[in-house]
């Protein structure tokens, strides 16, 4: 395969330009081939590639050369004699301005691995030129150009790719071979074909599925996802799998929905079930897992994919790890990882190189971490992740290796392995304990409610229509006649003792009367009959809030928001309660959602303004207050706050 480039630059205004990111990726992918000079090229060898440029444009010197040098590739430069150091005046009607390389730049290109070849003196279509002398003159290389590269100028590139028998015969007199790009073939050295490369061209020989595995890693999730999205070589597929978290991780992951796939397990499957499911949802040749509390260095995919591409016997590519986070030092001590130079926060964890004698050792001691990249083929052969006394990943890798595959070490610290703080673990534990306690409480209070029901029964008249009853209660409440509403609610409740909306109305009246304890009991009962009643969760949350039971309040308002994600009253409650309990980021996020749904909600805008003001992000605070004033020019609070900021 002979590749043809023209211009390489930071962006690509037309199809003749390849941008530097894509150019770099293509050079990366060519590491799976043998990149050779034309002199060494064998068209029957599908593993060989020649990189050629036509022009030669200055941007090849400036933007392609550093990349070519970093990969150490040879390349061929087909130069047009009379354009050296000139402008592209001839095609500026279709192409943006682009200067041609001057002699100095051509020299630097040759010194950097390039070989000069000839693309004619003035780039005219030689099949249309009648005068033989002119054709011969176009093909002859002036001595001063020849002196730029004594080894080169033995191959010819047909202008516009066009050639006929006459031109072919003359070319044979002057050159060792010639390239076309329109009607060439892979047999005749004087008409080899070339593939024109564009941004989209890919020479990859494998695909990668990267899976981010999450369980309650909420605040760490963005760092994990960002680390994947910034990979120098993008995985072909990114899956975020959540094993039924109880925190807001999935909500956080959804911010990246346009770039990654998200799957959430309805039930917690545990590591084996979850990992096998994740693999089954992907299709890449290579698979790797990243725990959502860790990060990949930006060259993780680049290095591991290449290692597997290059080592056909290896089914696993494993790397070193850098340990970071508040408990890094503790873990480093255990793992015998050394501190990185010039810091106390990061530790370097090295693993031994693999050889067959290590295969035995792997059965007992693990030196291949769970975020190693492995072949799907091997995974399938050994039956995937399985339950065992060893950690699941260790067990999988040990089975793969004992099935005859090798592992290959990538000696780079491309896994960034976070050691959490105790706090982090404890907070989660606390939440779990709170929930257990709350459930117990519900059961106790239900018993109380049953007794209450018995107490009111028998004193109530019969009532027929449920909806009418509830709406009458609400009318009385709105009218301010709390006592009448209360009497009617009691009556209705007797008729419909298990209807959550009646109980809710009853509870609201209790709350109006200031009897928060009874309101709480009633609302809890309502939830027993209808656990998915968003407004009841919201009311109960508000009652708890008034009782200063913040954890419980947050739990129920969050439940309400899950059930009715678009309700502005619930979202506002949630934002406020987050703010009060110091969860500023969560509060901000909730306000953000509100604004997305209700861009003109002045209360939400005020709330955002307040938070920003507290955070001393005064520019943002003014922005939100000003927005309030656009909608409500007379809003006194917004005005006062703005004045306070400006002074």
Shortest separation between residue 33's beta carbon and other proteins, angstroms: 19
DSSP, residue by residue, 91-135: GTTTS---PBP-HHHHHHHHHTTEEEEE--SS---TTS---HHHH
Residue 226, classified by CB atoms within 10 Å of its CB into exposed (0-12), middle (13-18) or buried (19+), is exposed
Which one of 3, 4, 22, 50 is in contact with other proteins (CB under 8 A)?
A: 22
Complex with other proteins: residue 84 or 141, whichever CB lies closer: 84
Shortest separation between residue 341's beta carbon and other proteins, angstroms: 7
Instruction: Check residue 615 for interaction with other proteins (CB under 8 A).
Output: yes
Instruction: Check residue 24 for interaction with other proteins (CB under 8 A).
Output: yes
Instruction: Check residue 551 for interaction with other proteins (CB under 8 A).
Output: no
Q: Under rule CB under 8 A, which residues in 437-476 are in contact with other proteins?
A: none
Which one of 46, 514, 582, 619 is in contact with other proteins (CB under 8 A)?
A: 619
Q: Are the C-beta atoms of residues 308 and 373 closer than 8 Å to each other?
A: yes
What's the alpha-carbon Rg for the chain, to the nearest Å?
Answer: 36
Complex with other proteins: residue 100 or 385, whichever CB lies closer: 100
Instruction: Check residue 421 for interaction with other proteins (CB under 8 A).
Output: no
CA angle at 173 for the pair 168 and 179, rounded to the nearest 5°: 45
DSSP, residue by residue, 253-280: HGGGTTTSEEEE-SS--HHHHHHHHHHH
Q: In sequence order, which residues have a C-beta less than 8 Å from that of residue 311 and are 6 or more positions away?
A: 317, 406, 408
Instruction: Check residue 103 for interaction with other proteins (CB under 8 A).
Output: no
Complex with other proteins: residue 70 or 386, whichever CB lies closer: 70
Instruction: Check residue 416 for interaction with other proteins (CB under 8 A).
Output: yes
Which one of 166, 230, 387, 468 is in contact with other proteins (CB under 8 A)?
A: 230
Instruction: Check residue 341 for interaction with other proteins (CB under 8 A).
Output: yes
Q: Under rule CB under 8 A, which residues in 376-415 are in contact with other proteins?
A: 413-414
Q: Are the C-beta atoms of residues 611 and 623 closer than 8 Å to each other?
A: no
Instruction: Check residue 72 for interaction with other proteins (CB under 8 A).
Output: no
Pairing of strands 261-264, 295-296: unpaired
Pairing of strands 373-375, 314-324: antiparallel
| Total residues interacting with other proteins, rule: CB under 8 A | 45
Helices and strands: H and E segment counts in the chain: 27, 20
Query: CA–CA separation, 523 vs 531, rounded Å?
Result: 10
Instruction: Check residue 200 for interaction with other proteins (CB under 8 A).
Output: no
Q: In sequence order, which residues have a C-beta less than 8 Å from that of residue 250 and are 6 or more positions away?
A: 214, 242, 262, 264
509-542 as b/e: b if 16+ CB within 10 A: bbbeeeebebbbbbbbbbbebeeebbbbbbbbbb
Shortest separation between residue 231's beta carbon and other proteins, angstroms: 8
Instruction: Check residue 351 for interaction with other proteins (CB under 8 A).
Output: no
Instruction: Check residue 620 for interaction with other proteins (CB under 8 A).
Output: yes
From 47-55, 65-73, 159-167, 180-188, span contacting other proteins (CB under 8 A): 65-73
DSSP reduced 3-state for 497: coil
Helix (H) or strand (E) holding 319: strand 314-324
Complex with other proteins: residue 68 or 485, whichever CB lies closer: 68
Per-residue binder mask for other proteins (CB under 8 A), 279-308, x = binder: ------------------xxx--x------
Complex with other proteins: residue 22 or 392, whichever CB lies closer: 22
Instruction: Check residue 92 for interaction with other proteins (CB under 8 A).
Output: no
From 401-409, 438-446, 614-622, 638-646, span contacting other proteins (CB under 8 A): 614-622
Query: CA–CA separation, 632 vs 304, rounded Å?
Result: 57
Per-residue binder mask for other proteins (CB under 8 A), 243-282, x = binder: ----------------------------------------
Instruction: Check residue 25 for interaction with other proteins (CB under 8 A).
Output: yes
Q: Which residues sit at the interface with other proteins, rule CB under 8 A?
A: 10-14, 19-22, 24-25, 61-63, 65-67, 70, 108, 226-227, 230, 232, 297-299, 302, 322, 324, 340-343, 345-346, 348, 413-414, 416, 615-617, 619-620, 623
């Amino acid at each position: 395969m002979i590749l043809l480039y023209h211009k390489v630059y930071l962006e690509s205004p037309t199809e003749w330009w390849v941008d530097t990111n894509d150019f770099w990726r293509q050079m990366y992918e060519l590491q799976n081939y043998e990149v050779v000079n034309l002199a060494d090229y064998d068209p029957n060898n599908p593993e060989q590639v020649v990189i050629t440029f036509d022009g030669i444009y200055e941007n090849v010197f400036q933007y392609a050369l550093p990349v070519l040098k970093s990969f150490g590739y040879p390349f061929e430069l087909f130069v047009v004699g009379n354009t050296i150091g000139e402008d592209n005046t001839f095609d500026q009607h279709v192409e943006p301005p682009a200067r041609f390389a001057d002699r100095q730049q051509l020299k630097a290109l040759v010194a950097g691995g390039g070989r000069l070849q000839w693309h004619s003196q003035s780039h005219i279509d030689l099949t249309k030129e009648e005068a033989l002398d002119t054709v011969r003159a176009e093909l002859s290389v002036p001595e001063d150009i020849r002196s730029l590269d004594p080894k080169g100028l033995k191959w010819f590139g047909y202008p516009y790719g066009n050639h006929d028998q006459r031109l072919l015969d003359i070319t044979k007199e002057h050159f060792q071979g010639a390239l076309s790009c329109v009607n060439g073939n892979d047999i005749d050295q004087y008409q080899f074909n070339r593939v024109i490369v564009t941004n989209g061209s890919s020479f990859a020989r494998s695909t990668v599925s990267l899976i981010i595995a999450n369980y309650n890693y909420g605040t760490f999730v963005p760092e994990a996802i960002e680390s994947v999205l910034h990979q120098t070589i993008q995985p072909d597929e990114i899956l975020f799998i959540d094993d039924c978290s109880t925190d807001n991780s999935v909500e956080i992951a959804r911010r990246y929905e346009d770039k990654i796939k998200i799957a959430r397990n309805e039930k917690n499957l545990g590591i084996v079930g979850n990992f096998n499911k994740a693999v089954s949802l992907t299709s890449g040749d290579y698979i790797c897992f990243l725990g959502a509390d860790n990060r990949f260095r930006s060259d993780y995919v680049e290095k591991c994919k290449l290692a597997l591409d290059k080592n056909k016997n290896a089914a696993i590519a494993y790397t070193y790890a850098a340990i970071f986070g508040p408990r890094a030092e503790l873990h480093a001590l255990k793992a015998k990882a050394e501190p990185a130079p010039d810091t106390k926060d990061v530790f370097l964890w090295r693993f031994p190189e693999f050889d067959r004698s290590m295969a035995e050792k792997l059965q007992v001691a693990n030196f291949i971490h769970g975020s190693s990249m492995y072949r799907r083929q091997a995974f399938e052969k050994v039956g995937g992740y399985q339950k065992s006394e060893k950690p699941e990943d260790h067990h999988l890798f040990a089975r793969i290796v004992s099935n005859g595959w090798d592992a290959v070490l990538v000696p780079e610290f491309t896994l960034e392995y976070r050691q959490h703080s105790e706090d982090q673990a404890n907070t989660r534990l606390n939440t779990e304990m709170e929930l257990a306690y709350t459930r117990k409480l519900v059961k106790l209070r239900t018993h109380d409610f049953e007794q209450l029901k018995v107490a009111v029964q028998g004193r109530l008249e019969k009532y027929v229509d449920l909806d009418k009853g509830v709406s009458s209660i609400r009318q009385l409440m709105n009218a301010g006649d709390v006592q009448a509403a209360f009497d009617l609610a009691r009556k209705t409740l007797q008729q419909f003792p298990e209807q959550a909306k009646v109980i809710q109305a009853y509870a609201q009246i209790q709350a109006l009367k200031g009897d928060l304890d009874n309101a709480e009991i009633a609302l809890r009962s309502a939830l027993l009959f209808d656990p998915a009643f968003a407004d009841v969760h919201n009311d109960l949350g508000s009652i708890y809030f008034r009782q200063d039971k913040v954890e419980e309040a947050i739990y129920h308002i969050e439940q309400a928001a899950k059930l009715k994600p678009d309700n502005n009253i619930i979202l506002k409650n949630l934002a406020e309660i987050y703010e009060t309990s110091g969860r500023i980021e969560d509060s901000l996020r909730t306000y953000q959602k509100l604004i997305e749904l209700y861009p003109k909600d002045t209360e939400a805008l005020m709330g955002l303004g307040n938070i920003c003001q507290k955070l001393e992000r005064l520019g943002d605070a003014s922005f939100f207050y000003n927005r309030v004033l656009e909608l409500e020019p007379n809003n006194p609070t917004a005005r006062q706050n703005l004045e306070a900021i400006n002074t």
